[in-house]
Chain A
Amino acid sequence: MAPRVALLAGAVVLLLAAGAARASNDEGDALYALRARMSDPNGVLQSWDPTLVNPCTWFHVTCDHASRVVRLDLGNSNISGSIGPELGRLVNLQYLELYRNNIGGEIPKELGNLKNLISLDLYANKLTGSIPKSLSKLKSLRFMRLNNNKLAGSIPRELAKLSNLKVIDLSNNDLCGTIPVEGPFSTFPLRSFENNSRLNGPELQGLVPYDFGC
C-alpha cells in the first residue's frame, strides 16, 4: 500500500536522488526577516537557521515536494512584533496561521501577493490599521479570519471578488462603514461581523455610500 499523503516525514525513505537544482534562498530570507521582527519568548523560532539551503527543515514551516513554503503554523506561540512586507514573497504559501499571538502593526498590503493562499488566520492579535484592498487578489482564499484585533477602516468592497471565500470572521474589531453584500458576502452570517461598533450593517446598494460612518 503506497502512502497517499505526499510531503515530508511519514513513510518516505531516506533516498537521495541526483543533482537538485540550486535556487537562491529567497523564501528562507523572507522568513528570517519575519523572525527579526518578532520577539519570541517561547523560542518557537529557535530552529530557524538561515545558513541552511532552504527553510524546509525549520519547525513550523512546511514545504511542498519542490521545497517551496506552503504552510506557516505559528498560532498561539506568544510571539509579538509586526508581520512586515517580506511574507508577500512566499508566493506558494497556502496557510498563514499566526492566530492568538501579540502581533501588532498593520496587515501588510504585500500579503495580497499570496495568490495561492487558502487560509489567512490572523485572529486574536493586536493588529491595527485597515484591511488592505490588495487582499482581494487572493483568488484561492477560502478562510479569512481577522477577528479579535483592532482593525479599523471599512471592509473593502473589492473583497467581494473572492469567489472562493467560504468563511470570513471580522468580528470584534473597530471596523466602520457597511458590510458588502455581493459575491460570497451574501452567504456570510451577521455574526461574522459582530462587535464592530461603527459598522453599519449590510450595504443598502445605491442608497448610502459604502464607507458611510468612517
Chain B
Amino acid sequence: MQKLHSDKRQSNKLPIPSIGVALVLLLNFASTTSSCTEQERSSLLRFLSELSRDGGLATSWQDSTDCCQWEGITCSQDRTVTDVSLTSRSIQGQISPSLGSLTGLLRLNLSHNLLSGALPQELMSSSSIIVIDVSFNRLNGDLHELPSSTPARPLQVLNISSNLFTGQFPSSIWGVMKNLVALNASNNSFTGHIPSNFCTNSPSFAVLELSYNQFSGSIPTGLGNCSMLRVLMAGHNNLSGTLPDELFNATALEHLSFADNNLQGTLEGENVVKLSKLATLDLGDNNFSCEIPHSICQLKRLKELHLNNNKMYGSVPSTLANCTSLIIVDLKSNNFSGDLTNVNFSNLPNLKTLDLLRNNFSGKFPESIYSCSSLTALRLSSNKFHGQLSKGLGNMKSLSFLSLTDNSFTNIANALQILRSSNNLTTLLMGHNFLNERMPDDDSINGFENLQVLSLSGCWLSGKIPRWLPKLSSLEMLFLQSNQLTGPIPDWISSLHFLFYLDISNNSLMGEIPTALVQMPMLTSEKVAAQWDHRAFDLPIYRYLSFQYRMVSAFPKVLNLGNNELTGLIPPEIGQLKALLSLNLSFNELSGDIPQSICNLTDLLLLDLSSNKLTGTIPSSLNNLKFMSQFNISYNDLEGTVPDGGQISTFLSTSFDGNPRLCGPMLARHCGSAETPIVSTKQTNDKDVSPLAFMIPFGAFFGLGVLYDQIVLSRFF
C-alpha cells in the first residue's frame, strides 16, 4: 500500500515524459524506498547474530529482503523501523546494544523468551524508544544509572519484570525520564531503596510495580508528589518504617500494596480518606499495630481490604458497612475483638470472601452475614464464637467454603440439618467445636452432594462413624480424627469414589481393617498426577500454624487409622493402594507380619506402624521406598536385621526402638557372630529418654559399636 502511495506522489511530482522513462524512474524509486536504511538493517542483523537460538528468525531476516518485511519488525510510513516485537519465541542469547542504534525505534518487546546477559545501557538512553518490555526472560546484572550529562529521555513504559536482575536499583536515572508513565521491575532481586524521584520530571507517572524484590529502607515520601499515580505495588520486599503521611497525597491511587514487608506503625483514618479512588488496599503480612480507622469506608470504591497477619486490634467498625463495593475482606491473624453484631454485613451485596481466621472475635454467629448473597467463602476459625447456627445459614446459596473450626459452637445435629440445604457447599470445616456431643447418626441428613472436604475433627464426639456419610458422593477428604467414635470401620468406605484422604485416627474404633479399605477406588487408582483434582480452595487451608494448602492436590493421599483399637492383621492387599502417600496404622493392636506388598506403595512419604504387636522381620524391599521421609516401626515385636543400604538407613534408632529382638548397625543390638549385644546401662533408660535427647544415648551406642568393629573386624593393614 505504501508503494502505491509513493507512486502516486511520484507521478504527481514528475513531469510526465514517455511511459517508459516513467516506468524506469518508478522502478528506480521503488528500489531505493522499499528497504530500510543500511544502518538499520545492519543493527538488526547484529542483534540476530548475538542470539544463540533465534527461534527461526534467520529464515525471515534475510539480507536480501526488505527489513520492514521481516518477522517482528514494523516500519513507519517513511520506512523507519518503529517496532521490534519478538515475544514467546524461545529466543536465547544476549540483547545486542545495536538495537539502540535504531534511530526511529519506538517500541521494543522481547518478553517471554530466554534471553540472558545484561540490559544494554543503549536501550535506556535511546532518544527514541518509548516502550521497552523485556519481561519474563533471564536477564541479569544491574540496572545502571545513566551518565549525569544525559539529556531528557522519552521512555514512557519500562517492563523488566520477572528476570534475574540484581544490585542496587538506580535512582537518578528516573529524573532524566520526562514522560515516564509505567515502571514494572517486579520479580527480580533488586536491593537498595525505592527512589523518590519518579514523578519529579514525569508528572504523568501512573504505575509503579516493584513487588517481589529485596528493596529495603522506608517508603519514600516523594511518591506523594505523584498526582497521577494509580498503581503502587511494592509487596514482598524488606521495606521498613511506617506509612509516611505524604504518601497519601497521591490521591489518584487505585491500587496500593505493601504486603509482606516489615512495615509498622499505624494506618491513620485522616490519611486513608484522601485516597478517594482506592479500590485495593493490601497491607497484609506486616507489623501494623492499630485499629481499623472508622473513616475507612469513606472510600466508596474500596473492593479489596487486606489487613491480614499484622498486630492490629480493636473491633471492626460498624462503618465497614458503608464500603458497599467490598468484595474481599481479609483480617486474619490479628488481634481483632468484639462480636461483629454492630456491623451490618447485609449492606455489602458484593462481598465474596470474608476471612477472620485467628483473632479474638466473640459472640454468636453474626447473622447479618446471611444476607450476603454473593458470599462464596467465609472463615471464622480460631476465634471465640459460641452458640448454635441458625436457619439463615442454609439460605446462603453462593456459599462454597465455610470454616468454623476451633470456636465454641454447639449442637452439631442442628448445624448439619441447617447446612445440608446449602447446595453449593464444597468445603465444610467445623472441627474443634461441639465438644463431647454425640455424632448424629440420623438418616435424614441428606444434601451435601457437592461436599468435597468435611472436617469434624477434635470434637470428642461419641457414637459411631455416621451412616449418612456414604451419601456424600463427591467427598474427597474426610477428617474425623480426635473424637470418641466406636464401632468398626464401615464397609461402605469403598463406595466413596473420590475419597483420597481419610483420617479417623485417635478414636476408639475396633475390629479388623476391612477389605473395603484396601479397595478404596481413589487409592487403588493408577491415575497420573495430571488427572487429579486441580481445583483451588476458595481460601487457602492452614494446618499446624503455617502449613498452607492452596489446592486440593496439595494434600497427599492419606490413610490414617492410628491411635485406635484395631486388631488383626495388616491385610496384604494393602499393596494395592498404589496412590497412597501416607499410611499410619500406629498405636493399635495389629498383629502378624509387615506385608511384603507395602513395597508396592512406591510413592509412600510416610509409613508409621509403631506401637502395635507386629512380628516377623522387616521386609528388605522397604528399602525401595525412596521417597519415604518418615518411617516408624518402633514398639512392636519385630526381629531380624534392619535392612541396610537404602532409604531405611537414613533413619535413626528412634524409628526402631522397642523391638528387643531387632538388630542392626544403628541400634544398640548389632547383628553378627557375637551373640551378646553390647548393652550399656543407658539402654534400659532409652524408653524414658525424650525425643529431644535421643542424641546422647545414640552417640554412646555408636561409640561402642565402633569399638566393637575395631576389635572384632579385620583391618586392612
Contacts and interface: CB of A to CB of B under 8 A. Distances in A.
Looking at A14, A59, A121, the one whose CB has the most chain B CB atoms below 10 A away is A14
B452 interface: no
B610 A5 contact: yes
Contact of A11 (B238, B505, B634): B505
A60 B629 contact: yes
Contact of B649 (A10, A16, A143): A143
Contacts of B28: none
Contacts of B357: 16
B130 interface: no
A36 B597 CA distance: 35
Interface in B697-714: 699, 702, 706, 709-710, 713
Contacts of A190: 716
A11 B627 contact: no
Interface stretch (A50-58, A154-162, A205-213): A50-58
Contact of A57 (B431, B547, B626, B647): B547
Interface in A5-49: 5-20, 22, 24, 43-44, 46-47, 49
A26 B296 CA distance: 34
A20 B586 CA distance: 29
A62 interface: yes
Interface residues on A, range: 35 or more
A9 B584 contact: yes
Interface of A is mostly: loop
B554 interface: yes
B606 A9 contact: yes
Interface in B92-142: none
Contact of B550 (A15, A52, A62, A187): A52
Interface stretch (B226-234, B250-258, B339-347, B537-545): B537-545
B505 A1 contact: no
A11 B587 contact: yes
Interface string B410-453: 00000000000000000001011000000000000000000000
B523 to A, nearest CB: 16
Contact of B608 (A5, A56, A57, A62): A5
B548 interface: yes
A12 B458 CA distance: 10
A19 B505 contact: no
Contacts of B327: none
Interface in A180-211: 187, 189-190, 202
Interface in B507-547: 529, 540, 542-547
Nearest to B309: A22
Contact of B563 (A1, A95, A167): A1
The 9 closest A-B pairs by CB, nearest first: A76-B626, A75-B626, A20-B545, A190-B716, A73-B629, A62-B629, A11-B505, A16-B382, A52-B548
13 contacts: A1-B563, A4-B610, A5-B610, A9-B560, A10-B606, A11-B506, A11-B562, A14-B431, A14-B457, A16-B357, A53-B548, A60-B629, A189-B716
Interface of A: 1, 3-20, 22, 24, 43-44, 46-47, 49, 51-54, 56-57, 59-60, 62-63, 65, 67, 71, 73-77, 95, 97, 100, 119, 121, 143, 164, 166-167, 187, 189-190, 202
Given A17-B545, A71-B629, 13 more contacts: A1-B587, A10-B562, A10-B606, A11-B506, A16-B382, A19-B333, A22-B260, A22-B285, A47-B554, A57-B554, A187-B709, A187-B710, A202-B716
